[in-house]
Amino acid sequence: MLELRGVTKRFGDFTALESVDFAIGAGEIVGLLGENGAGKSTLMNLVGGLHQPNGGEIRWDGEAVHLTSPRDATARRIGVVHQHFMLVPVFSVAENMALHAPQAVAVFHADEWAARVEAWARALGWRVDARRRVEELSVGERQRIEILKALFARTTSQKTKAESEAESEAESDDADETARLLLLDEPTANLTPGEADELFDVLRGLRARGCGIVFVSHKLREVMALCDRVVVLRRGRVVGEHPVSQTDAARLATLMVGREISAARPLRATSDHAAVPSPAEAVAALDDAHLTIRNLRCGVLRDFSLQVHGAEIVGLAGVDGNGQQELMEVLGGLRAPDAGTFEAGEAQTPGETANATRRAGEASGSAARTLSIIPADRQSVGLIHSFDLAENMALSRDLRAACRGRFAFDWTHARRTTRDLMERFDVRASATRERTPAANLSGGNAQKLVVARALQWSRGAVVAAEPTRGLDVSAARFVREQLRRAADEGRAVLLISTDLDEIFELSDRIGVLYEGRLLPDENLLPSGASRETIGAMMGGLVQGKGQK
């Protein structure tokens, strides 16, 4: 039915997909597995008409097609369900469906549409109240509406209520409207296990009716349970394709994370005191430079606890959307947790120890003072675009303290310090140097600036999220070296990254964030843990205690 032959997609210098072959027939569910950035979404967007390939061809029913817009795809009865809901919450179900109708609706007859949508859903064996507003629906119900919307591929013309009623009787008629191929991007990301099971029943039902389904996921168990065939992507290439019956989850996990060992010298601690602290040392570490997170609850996060000691880097692997964002927002003070606390200490300076706790709900606490954040989103959270570089550096409490004058803020000092730091961290700006607006910095230089600000003054714990995402090799290397140096200085470093290579290169201990929980829940893995173990955890094959 659908066939991709040697499809390549590049975004600038970045190759998202390289010579990918992929095929799916009617009545088949194909799982598409891969880590973040493996190319799953790009492949979906090519078939869904959002992007066009740079090379290769897409064939539909045996003939090459150019899908230049989502509408093209819809017209060929290809339906897409995106990971994030694309529904208008204040609209009713029927209105949302009408919005999606390939043909513009000149006059909207609410009752007619509602009846039509309901009749149509009934034909699929679903009960839907099309007059309810989407915001009143549960997440699972919304997901179902999304699928309904995607399936609702073609409408011939405005039909009367009677006609649509009649149509629901005759199944062959409405099959004409149904999508023949359904693309689902991480459809279970927002669902409870029970809701996911219901979704699977629905998808199996569609398969029985001859619908082809591409199921994009990183959850190995779900893929194994639902799919007929699995295609594994890694770094834009197909690295494996197996019928589910002839493979197992462990093998898929290995394929997904790959076996290649990073060529770079591991930036791990050479002394072993950081890796395995004795109890006494652990207590000492707790006193000065640690990051302790207790029973944090927020969004996806469920009773997340973690302790990072001084002088070590703990790597937190995991697929995006498993709680990384919530964790960063809470630690960064952007969001108050529903429950739980965290505290951060400072690396000991002679004669002084600092220790601060931020409790749940407290708007501002001193923990922020001892915690340095390198946010994943450096563009909107890390920097202020309209401010120049010196002003951005002055966001650091410590630089401001140094610049406090009697009558005025000492901008001369701030500028001189910024200039020095730019030299030391090799931040390249235009001739205006520290007066350059941050908006004019390249990604690598912007990140170096953020890192410099986070590491320069404070002696406290460091939390870095995706610190090298989008950076070139040398800039990434530089940033990683700086993080290692921070740990060597005795600071606690928590590295949250979806890049497994980075986790392996830097971490002294490794944990996995899966569905808001830390795995393994007893002791974190040593730096030498196998990729297979971590891959299995990322895919949800290994569960913590107290979970099913």
Partner 1 sequence: MPAPHEIEPRVLPSLLVPGAPRLYAACFLLFAFFLLPLVVMLAGRSPLEAGAALVQGAAGNPSRLAESLSKTIPLVMTGLSVALAFRAGFFNIGAEGQMLMGALAGAALGAKAQWPAGLVLLGGALAGAAWALLAGVLKVRRGAPEIITTIMLNYIALQLVAFAVQGPLQEAARTQPQTDVLPPQSQLPALLPDTNLHAGLLIVLACAGVCWWLLFRTERGFLWRAAGANPLAARGAGIDAGRQTLQAVALCGALSGLGGAMEVAGATKQLGMGGFGYGYTAIAVALLGALNPLGVLPAALLFGMLDAGGKAMERTAGVPSVAVSVVIGILIFALAVAPRLRRTN
Binding site for partner 1 (CB under 8 A): 332-334, 363-364, 368-369, 373, 375, 380-387, 391, 394-397, 400, 403-404, 408-409, 411, 437
Virtual torsion, Cα 259, 260, 264, 268, nearest 10 deg: 0
> Residue 239 burial by CB count (10 A; 0-12/13-18/19+): exposed, middle or buried?
middle
Contact 101/107 with Cβ under 8 angstroms? no
Which CB sits closer to partner 1, 270 or 364? 364
Contact 237, 34 (CB under 8 A): no
Nearest-approach distance from CB 417 to partner 1, in angstroms: 15
Q: What are phi and psi of 24, to 5 degrees?
A: -145, 140
In the structure encoding, which two tokens stand for residue 284, read together? 């000492």
Q: What is the DSSP letter of 66?
A: -
Nearer residue to partner 1 within complex by CB, 156 or 386: 386
Q: How many Cβ atoms are within 10 Å of 397's Cβ, its own excluded?
A: 12
Q: Which two tokens stand for residue 421?
A: 């730091």
Q: Quote the tokens at residue 247.
A: 């493979």
Q: Which two tokens stand for residue 143?
A: 């997901």
* Beta carbon nearer to partner 1, 38 or 414: 414
Cβ nearer to partner 1, comparing 186 with 388: 388
Q: Which two tokens stand for residue 106?
A: 């000149």
Q: Residue 527 and residue 411: Cα distance in Å, rounded? A: 44
The set of residues, in sequence order, having a beta carbon less than 8 Å from that of 200 and lying 6+ positions away, is: 222, 225, 226
Nearest CB to partner 1, comparing residues 172 and 380:
380
- Residue 288 and residue 312: Cα distance in Å, rounded? 13
Closer residue to partner 1 (CB): 67 or 376: 376
**What is the nearest approach in angstroms of partner 1 to the Cβ of residue 382?**
7
Q: Min. distance of Cβ 438 from partner 1 in angstroms? A: 10
Taking the least distance from each CB to partner 1, the nearer of 188 and 436 is 436
Least distance from partner 1 to the Cβ atom of residue 282, Å: 28
Cβ 372 to partner 1, closest distance in Å?
A: 10
Locus of tokens 């799919």: 227
Strands 14-24 and 29-33: unpaired
The closest of 157, 7, 176, 146 to 79, measured between CA atoms, is 146
Residue-wise DSSP of 356-380: EEE-TT-SS-THHHHEEEE-S-III
Q: Which is nearer to partner 1, 250 or 395 (CB)?
A: 395
Looking at the Cβ atoms of 170 and 334, the one nearer to partner 1 is: 334
Which helix (H) or strand (E) segment is 483 a member of? helix 473-488
Considering the complex, state which of residue 341 and residue 440 has its C-beta at the smaller distance from partner 1. Answer: 440
**Interaxial angle between packed helices 93-100 and 139-151, expressed in degrees from 0 to 180 and rounded to the nearest 10:** 30
Nearest to 229 by CA among 458, 237, 219, 240: 240
- Work out how close the CB of 312 gets to partner 1 at its nearest, in angstroms, rounded to a whole number: 24
Min dist CB 64 to partner 1, Å, is 36
CB of 290 to partner 1, least distance (A): 19
Give long-range contacts, CB 8 A cutoff, 24+ apart: 71-77. Answer: 71/102, 73/47, 73/48, 73/49, 74/49, 74/102, 74/153, 74/154, 75/102, 75/154, 77/153, 77/154, 77/178, 77/179, 77/180, 77/181
Q: Which CB sits closer to partner 1, 55 or 405?
A: 405
Between 121 and 376, name the residue whose CB sits nearer to partner 1: 376
Smallest separation, CB 85 to partner 1 (Å):
22
Quick one: 522 exposed, middle or buried, by C-beta within 10 A (0-12, 13-18, 19+)?
Answer: exposed
Residues in the chain: 548
**Residue 472 and residue 474: Cα distance in Å, rounded?**
6
In angstroms, what is the minimal distance from the CB of 296 to partner 1?
18
Helix (H, G, I), strand (E, B) or coil at 467: coil
How far, in Å, CA of 408 to CA of 404, rounded?
7
Minimum distance from residue 310 beta carbon to partner 1 (Å): 21
Nearer to partner 1, 20 or 438 (CB): 438
Q: How far is the CB of 498 from partner 1 (least distance, A)?
A: 20
Question: How near is the Cβ of 363 to partner 1 at its closest, in Å?
Answer: 7
